[in-house]
Amino acid sequence: MAVDYKDYYKILGVKKDANEKEIRQAFRKLARKYHPDVNPNNKESEDKFKEINEANEVLSDPEKRKKYDEMSAYYQQYGHMPGAAGPAGAGEYGGFEGFNSGPYQYRTVNEEDLRDIFGDQSGFSDFFETLFGSAGAGTANAGRSQTAGRGRQRATPGQDVESPIDVTLEEAYKGASRVLELTEANGTTRRLEVKIPAGVNDGSRIRITGQGIQSTAGRGDLYLVVHITPDARFTRERTDIRTRVDVPLAIAMLGGEVQVPTPDGRKLLLRIPAETANGKAFRLRGQGMPQSGQPDKRGDLYAEVNIVLPRNLTEEQRHLFEAFARSTGYQA
């Protein structure tokens, strides 16, 4: 059966080269506008919400997006999807087998949640299910009965909430606790202490169970979307950290020791060999960022040498440098 092609990029209003952040922002903006809680008993808004949710389900998943883009390229070339009747000589394809390559903000709603909201009809289009199959719809249960929920009154599911949270590199390095103040729909506020796990990454989502929006079926979950704030002293590369260490010229030439800072405020002693070049990086094993979920496993800390030249030389010091220069064959 032929199905109509859906332009998911057009549905979300983003360009085809949009990055993950742009897609997420576009989805949240549209989800706030068309969500059923904001537009009760509005069939047009319900259909629009399903459509943008489906688009986000595909474009926010790298594997689904790759498969969709490959199919779209075929559609652009031949004017129809694989398996659909096309111009004479275009040929026929059996399905999509040729493309099996591997305040509140909203998250993608899976098919089970959509059934809770809208009833028994599928929350995903024929186009989606033809391309990905019924099991492709997020974490939906493909074996879920089509008659589940009939003859009973459905409780309104709790709404999950996403909220950004700024985390310093130091907090990500050693973990931290935060006290949040949450505002309820009725205007009341409550305080909540949350844990920032060591090793958390930029873009990570920290799930706080049962702290979302209240409904007749209980509370949804709160998701904190982590943004690691820049640190002028350190650069993070996954679990490795890089920093620059000032090394006096005399130590770089003759050897000596310097202190290397860590994100949690400690100072490590680093031995600098004689005749160390500017820009050389030394690795301090196991002093980097902990792995997320495995705080006992850490990356490395790299200290890059920044040779500091002496300033405001005395007359005697200048003569000594000139003598040294002459001894190496230098001529002004």
Residues facing residue 306 across a β-bridge: 246
Per-residue tokens: 280: 């050389």
Asked whether the predicted pLDDT for residue 332 surpasses 70, the reply is: no
d(CA 112, CA 244): 51
Cα–Cα distance, 68 to 130 (Å, whole number): 11
Question: What percentage of the chain's residues is helix, strand, coil (to nearest 5)?
Answer: 30, 25, 45
What's the confidence (pLDDT) of residue 118? 45
| Structure confidence by residue, pLDDT tens digits, 196-237 | 888 888 888 888 887 777 666 667 788 888 888 888 899 888
Q: What is the pLDDT of residue 307?
A: 93
Question: What is the model's pTM?
Answer: 0.48
| Residues comprising the chain, all counted | 332
Give the distance, in angstroms, between the CA of residue 39 and the centroid of all CA atoms in the same chain: 30
Q: What is the DSSP string of 48-113?
A: HHHHHHHHHHHHTSHHHHHHHHHHHHHHHHHSS-TTS--STTS----TTGGG-----B-----HHH
pLDDT at res. 146: 30
| Residue 302, SS3 per DSSP | strand
Q: Is 2 helix (H, G, I), strand (E, B) or coil?
A: coil
Say if residues 106 and 170 touch (Cβ distance below 8 Å): no
CB 194 within 8 A of CB 221: no
Question: How far, in Å, CA of 184 to CA of 189, rounded?
Answer: 6
Q: Encode pLDDT of 240-293 as tens digits.
A: 999 999 999 999 999 999 999 999 889 999 999 999 999 999 999 999 888 877
CATH of 1-144, one of 2.170.140.10, 1.10.10.410, 3.30.365.10, 1.10.287.110: 1.10.287.110
What is the reported pLDDT for 255?
92
* CATH 2.60.260.20 correct for 234-327: yes
Where in the chain do CATH 1.10.287.110 domains reside? Answer: 1-144
User: Considering only 1-10, 40-49, 82-91, 304-313, which range has the smallest mean pLDDT?
Assistant: 82-91
Residue pair 220/160 in contact by the 8 Å Cβ criterion: yes
Report, in angstroms and rounded to the nearest whole number, the Rg of the chain calculated over CA atoms.
29
- Summarised one tens digit per residue, pLDDT across range 140-197 is 333 332 323 333 333 344 577 777 888 888 988 888 888 888 776 667 787 888 888 8
CA distance 66 to 48: 24
Block residue for tokens 């809770």: 116
- Compute the distance between CA of residue 291 and CA of residue 84 in angstroms, rounded to an integer: 48
Closest to 200 in 3D by CA, of 181, 176, 218, 232: 176
Residues forming CATH 2.60.260.20 domain(s) in the chain: 158-229, 234-327
Considering the domain 158-229 in this protein, what is its CATH number?
2.60.260.20
pLDDT at 1: 47
